[in-house]
Structure 1
Amino acid sequence: MRKSLMRMTLRQLQVFRAVCDSRSYSRAAEEMALTQPAVSLQIRQLEELVGQPLFDYIGKKLYLTQAAEALRRASSDIFQRLESLDMQLSEMQGSLQGQLTLAVESSAKYIVPHLFAAFRQHNPEVILNLSVVNRAQVIKRLSDNRDDLVIMSLVPPDMALEFLPFLNNPIVAVAPPGHPLAQAETLRLQDLESYPLLVRERGSGTRKACEEYFQQKRVHFAAAQEVSSLEALRECVVAGLGIALLPRHAVGLELAAGLLKELPVEELPLYRTWCAVHARGKRLSPVAQAFLDFIRTERAQISALSERFAGRAPEPDSGS
């Protein structure tokens, strides 16, 4: 190993990671409670130790060099190992402590905080670092090993991943109560074709699932309008701008309040499954392993949460 690398400090790596995340020296300085010259000095010293430049300015934008990408991956490993050490030391003291870093597809954000809250009842010293992104961003974060676990559906088959399915994600067709289809007793997917369809942005897991299903069912929507966030899409449907296929968990409150109506389409719901995912061979921290064990063993509690967010009371236990 180069002797110069042994002179790196954890503080330098923290500053480096802040610049990588923000793509800005000034924002990194604000985040780290430093001056911008102090950040610049830390990065220059780090470049001297690495022996290569870490950042390029192109058109007033900051880009990571190949050396920076390699250092970023190495620093992530270092800090994950330190976090794991902290958790292991806490376990030795008889309590589970530390941070759980989760990235979730945007339509899972309605259920995951409540899932974590149930987990935290048994582990009150654990804190949550939650990132809400679309499916394409989840896959990128998996590749970069940025999180303890990710929550997604449609797990990519071409990546070396371990995944635990734990909750159905029913996708339903919704419309405002005054929509011409809202009074129908039964519908087919083809009945929706002539009405404007609102869809998520490219990279969305819900959009990908629906497009694959439409292709399978040979359904074609002539008029489709893209909306870049789930919340905006939901409000567009409430406003009467079109119909949409959305996760039932994401519209439970609107369905219960009568702002939206679930259309009785025979081929729906379209069921996908939420999975907890991590890279195959990844060394999970004690907190991440405990969370994974929780969702593996507490299926009844998770099912009750799911039913609550679907706007229905959970079915009574039959005792079987």
Structure 2
Amino acid sequence: MRITLRQLQVFRTVCEQLSYSRTADLLGLTQPAVSQQIRLLEELVEEPLFEYIGKKLYLTDAAEHLFRTTNDIFQRLDELDMQLSELRGTLKGNLRIAAESSAKYLLPHILASFQQRHPDIHSTLNVFNRSQLLKRMNENRDDLVIMTNVPEELSLEFMPFLKNPIIAVANPRHPLAEQPGPLSLDALPAYTLLSRENGSGTRKACEEFFQQKRIHFNHIMEFNSHEAQREGVIAGLGIAFVPRHCVYRELQDGSIIELPIKAMPLLRSWCLVHPRGKKLSPVAQALEDFIREERQVIRAIAEKFGVNRP
């Protein structure tokens, strides 16, 4: 088959974007040019690759198989480029990182310190909820994943590297804020809980904690981001359980307060994760080594966000 790398590049981008128009914008092509490349590829593999159901684009079974192979091909080419750069005495290449949404506050600061050591490494950070991350790991979409609550049932290698304290927060004018602490968990269910959506790692950790403590909330409002959840607290809609670093600015300026609740904070750890047996690229290995060896640097970054506060 006379498949070209350009055709595979276009195909992979369509798979990721599920849109011919967005693919054209990203690759600097016209939409007809994208359609033509996909048609040529379909002729070569002798199978349809995409189908529209309603107005949404879906991958066929043939496309799923080709997508996995395409990712393997480009990963091997990236590794070759990195290995050649190592022979020249430099380390460069592309590093794809996926992280849980609550890690997006701390992780850019860690990456900034990492790239001071390795300025020729180009890092791409994509943010997802927990369920999306697990799906991406199954598809081998990323070099490394940052998450909490690593599932034991999956074959994964993981390295804990930083505490992720989850705290209870409220508006300073909330009735609970006026009560002398420490507060009992039993006092919370009388109020509205502002929760993350299904699939969120923070929500999963909190639900396990509530179940263990036999706490049940009757009134729950869902939010699909920490930003919306935080604004709900500021607006006085209810209380929320959030990672401390997600609200560190609001804790400093007083627009949100941490409730002094017994048995809190709920402690979890950020982990660097990849499938067991996965051969890390040189740049992915460089980040793993940095996180393992530069704990003092990472702790200093975490201190700015109040992560290590008692």
Q: TM-score, normalised by structure 1?
A: 0.94
TM superposition shift of 1:185: 2.2
TM superposition shift of 1:307: 1.6
8 Å contact kept, 1:256–1:311: no
- The corresponding residue for 1:194 is 190
3-state DSSP of counterpart to 1:121 = helix
**Aligned mates of 1:198, 1:37 — CA distance in 2:** 46
TM superposition shift of 1:27: 2.0
3-state DSSP of counterpart to 1:207 = helix
- The corresponding residue for 1:255 is 251
Q: Is structure 2 residue 218 aligned with structure 1 residue 222?
A: yes
**Aligned mates of 1:62, 1:107 — CA distance in 2:** 29
8 Å contact kept, 1:255–1:311: no
3-state DSSP of counterpart to 1:268 = coil
Report the AA paired with residue 144 of structure 1: E
3-state DSSP of counterpart to 1:130 = strand
8 Å contact kept, 2:163–2:308: no
Q: Is structure 2 residue 13 aligned with structure 1 residue 31?
A: no
TM superposition shift of 1:118: 1.1
Q: Is structure 2 residue 116 aligned with structure 1 residue 121?
A: yes
**Aligned mates of 1:42, 1:144 — CA distance in 2:** 24
* Structure 1 residues 124-273: aligned runs within 5 Å: 124-183=119-178, 184-273=180-269
Report the AA paired with residue 202 of structure 2: T
Q: For this pair of structures, how many residues does the alignment match? A: 309
3-state DSSP of counterpart to 1:29 = helix
TM superposition shift of 1:60: 2.6
- The corresponding residue for 1:285 is 281
TM superposition shift of 1:311: 7.2
* Structure 1 residues 82-97: aligned runs within 5 Å: 82-97=77-92
Q: What are the superposed Cα offsets for residues 118-144 of structure 1, whole Å, 9 maximum, x if unpaired?
A: 111111111210101100111111111
**Aligned mates of 2:220, 2:186 — CA distance in 1:** 15
**Aligned mates of 2:246, 2:21 — CA distance in 1:** 37
- The corresponding residue for 1:45 is 40
**Aligned mates of 1:311, 1:141 — CA distance in 2:** 28
TM superposition shift of 1:312: 7.3
Report the AA paired with residue 186 of structure 1: P
**Aligned mates of 2:251, 2:226 — CA distance in 1:** 15
Report the AA paired with residue 81 of structure 2: D
8 Å contact kept, 2:181–2:261: no
- The corresponding residue for 1:54 is 49
What are the ranges of 5 or more consecutive residues in structure 1 without an aligned counterpart? 316-320
8 Å contact kept, 1:252–1:309: yes
Identity %: 61
Q: What are the superposed Cα offsets for residues 42-83 of structure 1, whole Å, 9 maximum, x if unpaired?
A: 111111111111111221321100000000000001111111
Q: Is structure 2 residue 272 aligned with structure 1 residue 299?
A: no
**Aligned mates of 1:20, 1:211 — CA distance in 2:** 34
**Aligned mates of 1:309, 1:9 — CA distance in 2:** 47
Q: Which moved more, 1:153-162 or 1:66-75?
A: 153-162
Displaced runs of 4+ in structure 1, greater than 2 A? Answer: none
**Aligned mates of 1:142, 1:192 — CA distance in 2:** 36
TM superposition shift of 1:26: 2.1
**Aligned mates of 1:182, 1:219 — CA distance in 2:** 20
8 Å contact kept, 1:234–1:251: yes
Report the AA paired with residue 42 of structure 1: Q
Q: What are the superposed Cα offsets for residues 167-223 of structure 1, whole Å, 9 maximum, x if unpaired?
A: 110000001111121132211111111111100000000000000100000011111
TM superposition shift of 1:296: 0.8
